[in-house]
Amino acid sequence: MELTVRTSDNYNIIIERGCIKQIGTFAENLLNKGSKAFIISDSNVLPIYGKTTADSLKAAGFKVYEYAFPAGEESKRLNTIEEMYFKLSENGFTRSDFIVALGGGVTGDMAGFAAATYLRGIKFIQIPTSLLAQIDSSVGGKTAVDLPQGKNLVGSFHQPCLVLIDPNTLSTLPPHYFSDGMGEAIKYGCIKSRKLFDMILNTDIKENIEELIYSCIDIKRGVVERDEFDNGERMLLNFGHTFGHALEKNYNFKKLSHGEAVGVGMAMMAKCGEKADITKEGTSAEIQKALKKYNLPIWDDMDTEKILEAAALDKKSRGGNINLIMLKEIGDSFIKKVDRGGLRKLIEVLK
């Protein structure tokens, strides 16, 4: 399967079992022969897929360097990016060279940010190895790191020049990481496709994994092409994230993973919408049913004041307002702009 994303920089997405072994062939058709490749990965993924990726690039004539950071959201900090800059400059990387992001969402976000900012921008390839990265974060050009005050507060838009999605990499994922990715998959059904939501809820998704990946990415491709820089429709992709990011931040990125937090955030936002007669009654229960199927938490009892405080610093805020993503029903989403008082009124039902 192949998709083309038509943005300020067009690029292809390849969904093919075993394509990770062909990275060198794909790269030599896009990049300067003899240039340097910097593989950025984490301490879990590099030992599994680093050699395969490096060998393929070397066979195509690229000089390969590697860097691995300690796996986990805790590494998604500016000091990790600084280490990447040091390695890139130490090894003489120029604008003719490129970065390969090999790993999950944290790897893709940081490697992309390093590529966006080193020498004011060099090319990079995404090889997402987690379900969450394959269906969501590897496509669209959002790159970022966290600050103590919140998630993804420092970042840049920088499109990859290629995305290689190898579903075989999912076989090495612990069950928790597969479930984590399903949180984002459920989101895509919620915001754009009742059909996708029903497939997630009613079928053995592992038997339909290529269709799931393609469907989610195709939805995101269309949204990104229409709103590359996140000023309109692309905000819909943040359904569940206002509350989800607040939960992640207040738990110091330890109690809940990203997909878990987003899942809880979706259920919470749907419940708020139901109580305000905005969202179809029973929507939150449907979301919770899907979350349960994939062993994801369905609720959290965090104090609403803490949620409000974190949401005020969320990157979806615009001046004194915040753009909430809400549902009319499964598959039909919209943006609702509220001020802090309006957000407080909405979430009081969660107490």
How sure is the predictor about 59, in pLDDT bands with cuts at 50, 70 and 90? very high
Query: Of 6, 21, 58, whose CA–CA distance to 223 is shortest?
Result: 6
Query: Of 221, 208, 133, 138, whose CA–CA distance to 169 is shortest?
Result: 133
| Beta bridge partners of residue 119, listed in sequence order | none
Report whether pLDDT(314) > 70: no
CATH of domain 2-172: 3.40.50.1970
For the domain made up of 175-350, the CATH class stated in words is: mainly alpha
pLDDT digit string, tens, across residues 93-106: 999 999 999 999 99
Separation between Cα atoms, residue 343 and residue 272, nearest integer Å: 10
Report whether pLDDT(287) > 90: yes
Q: Which two tokens stand for residue 343?
A: 């957000």
Please compute the mean of the pLDDT values over residues 26-35 and round it to a whole number: 87
Please compute the mean of the pLDDT values over residues 21-50 and round it to a whole number: 93
How sure is the predictor about 19, in pLDDT bands with cuts at 50, 70 and 90? very high
Please compute the mean of the pLDDT values over residues 22-36 and round it to a whole number: 90
> Where along the chain do its domains lie?
2-172, 175-350
- Average pLDDT of the chain is 92
| pLDDT at residue 343 in the model | 85
Q: Which two tokens stand for residue 215?
A: 């469907």
| pLDDT at residue 100 in the model | 98
Helical spans, DSSP H, in the chain:
23-28, 46-59, 78-90, 105-117, 131-132, 175-192, 194-202, 209-226, 241-250, 258-275, 283-293, 304-312, 340-347
Separation between Cα atoms, residue 241 and residue 339, nearest integer Å: 17
Report whether pLDDT(70) > 90: yes
Separation between Cα atoms, residue 268 and residue 6, nearest integer Å: 34
| pLDDT at residue 51 in the model | 97
| pLDDT at residue 340 in the model | 77
How sure is the predictor about 216, in pLDDT bands with cuts at 50, 70 and 90? very high
* Residue 62 near residue 34 (C-beta atoms within 8 A): yes
| Beta bridge partners of residue 42, listed in sequence order | 69
Q: Which two tokens stand for residue 65?
A: 């360097």
Same fold, 2-172 and 175-350: no
Report whether pLDDT(250) > 90: no
Report whether pLDDT(150) > 90: no
CA dihedral 117, 118, 123, 126 (to 10 degrees): -70
Task: Calculate helix-pair angle for 283-293, 194-202, nearest 10 degrees.
Answer: 40
| pLDDT at residue 30 in the model | 87
Separation between Cα atoms, residue 93 and residue 73, nearest integer Å: 27
Q: Please report, rounded to a whole number, the percentage of residues in the chain having pLDDT higher than 90.
A: 75
Query: Of 29, 190, 257, 8, whose CA–CA distance to 125 is shortest?
Result: 29
Please compute the mean of the pLDDT values over residues 285-304 and round it to a whole number: 94
pLDDT digit string, tens, across residues 118-132: 999 999 999 999 999
pLDDT digit string, tens, across residues 151-198: 888 999 999 999 999 999 999 888 988 999 999 999 999 999 999 999
